[in-house]
């Protein structure tokens, strides 16, 4: 793995420090191996570039200006698409007693982005009553209100569903229907429906759409044009793809990545 280029990297936090921030830059295609932080929650924020995070039984796509919340102790691997400017907050669990217990992708407000940028320069340890301490406390306040985004793709364990997932990974435009796959896998359609509900918490159609959506996010975040992404995913037109995207996020692709 190529070594990171640290910027303003603070000393490790003392046990009493509620929050600390680290800045690291990674070249394209860096893979950060499976690891975990046993004593701290982590907010992984990409100022630029795209992160694909594998944790637990799923995968999250984290485009620039978004972040992933990672609970303390959860193992995760990170793939960097493009040059990534990563800014990570490490939060003591006792300072956020109502913190989310599951990994999730969240939207970063302009205020929180500015606070994270400033937190990189805060020395450790800091006095909670100082200006630095108040800045870190404001970060904790902002973290309580982050909106969760639907950028998670569950990873099935059933070998039949895994076969479908591998096919979609290679050919996201594959338009095979539920009935097509039931025939191919030699199972009843209802069996396949039950597997999707039990393992993924969604229907077959929702799973396929979510797979395409995350693939599209990876491509768009790397600068590919909407028309190219839409056609590569099997949509009849860019407008059909943009309509699906806006229905899911409330924003068009251009607005989402602005």
pLDDT at 145: 83
Tens digit of each residue's pLDDT (9 = 90 or more) over 6-53:
443 344 444 468 999 999 999 988 999 999 999 999 999 988 888 889
Nearest to 142, CA basis, from 121, 122, 123, 115: 115
Q: What percent of the chain has pLDDT over 90?
A: 49
The rounded distance, in Å, linking the Cα atoms of 89 and 43 is 5
Calculate the average pLDDT of the chain: 87
Mean pLDDT within 158-182: 93
Mean pLDDT within 58-78: 89
Nearest to 76, CA basis, from 162, 190, 152, 174: 152
Q: Examine residue 17 and say whether the peptide bond preceding it is cis (omega within 30 degrees of 0).
A: no
Neighbours of 73 (CB within 10 A): 12
pLDDT band at 3 (very low <50, low <70, confident <90, very high): very low
pLDDT at 2 over 50: no
- pTM listed for this prediction: 0.75
pLDDT band at 258 (very low <50, low <70, confident <90, very high): low
Helix/strand/coil (H/E/C) assignment for every residue in the chain? CCCCEECCCCCCCCCCCCEEEEEEEECCCCEEEEECCCCCEEEEEEEEEEEEEEECCEEEEECCCEEEEECCCCCEEEEEEEEEEEEEEEECHHHCCCCCCCCEEEECCHHHHHHHHHHCCCCCCCCCCCHHHHHHHHHHHHHCCCCEECCEEECCCCHHHHHHHHHHHHCCCCCCCHHHHHHHHCCCHHHHHHHHHHHHCCCHHHHHHHHHHHHHHHHHHCCCCHHHHHHHCCCCCHHHHHHHHHHHHCCCHHHHCC
Residues 6+ apart with CB under 8 A from 228: 219
Neighbours of 100 (CB within 10 A): 15
Domains of the chain: 5-149 (2.60.120.10), 156-256 (1.10.10.60)
Measured in degrees and rounded to the nearest 5, phi and psi for residue 65 equal 75, 5
pLDDT at 245 over 90: no
pLDDT at 155 over 80: yes
Beta bridge partners of 144: none
Tens digit of each residue's pLDDT (9 = 90 or more) over 72-107:
999 999 999 888 999 999 999 999 988 888 888 898
- For 162, 242, 244, 254, the CA distances from 251, given in Å and listed in that order, are 31, 9, 10, 8
């Amino acid at each position: 793995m190529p070594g990171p280029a640290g910027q303003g990297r603070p000393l490790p936090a003392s046990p009493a420090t509620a929050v600390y921030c680290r800045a690291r830059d990674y070249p394209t295609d860096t893979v950060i191996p499976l690891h975990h932080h046993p004593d701290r929650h982590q907010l992984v924020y990409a100022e630029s570039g795209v992160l694909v995070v594998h944790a637990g039984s799923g995968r999250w796509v984290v485009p620039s200006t978004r972040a992933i919340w990672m609970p303390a102790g959860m193992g995760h691997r990170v793939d960097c698409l493009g040059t990534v400017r990563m800014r990570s907050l490490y939060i003591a669990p006792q300072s956020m007693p109502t913190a989310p217990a599951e990994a999730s992708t969240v939207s970063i407000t302009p205020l929180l982005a500015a606070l994270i940028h400033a937190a990189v320069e805060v020395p450790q340890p800091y006095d909670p009553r100082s200006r630095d301490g108040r800045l870190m406390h404001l970060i904790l306040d902002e973290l309580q209100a982050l909106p969760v985004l639907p950028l998670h793709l569950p990873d099935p364990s059933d070998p039949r569903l895994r076969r479908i997932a591998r096919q979609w990974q290679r050919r996201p435009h594959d338009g095979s229907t539920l009935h097509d796959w039931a025939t191919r896998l030699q199972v009843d359609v209802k069996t396949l429906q039950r597997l999707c509900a039990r393992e993924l918490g969604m229907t077959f159609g929702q799973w396929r759409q979510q797979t395409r959506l995350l693939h599209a996010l990876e491509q768009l975040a790397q600068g590919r044009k909407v028309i190219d992404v839409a056609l590569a995913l099997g949509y009849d037109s860019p407008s059909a793809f943009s309509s699906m995207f806006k229905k899911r996020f409330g924003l068009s692709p251009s607005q989402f990545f602005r």
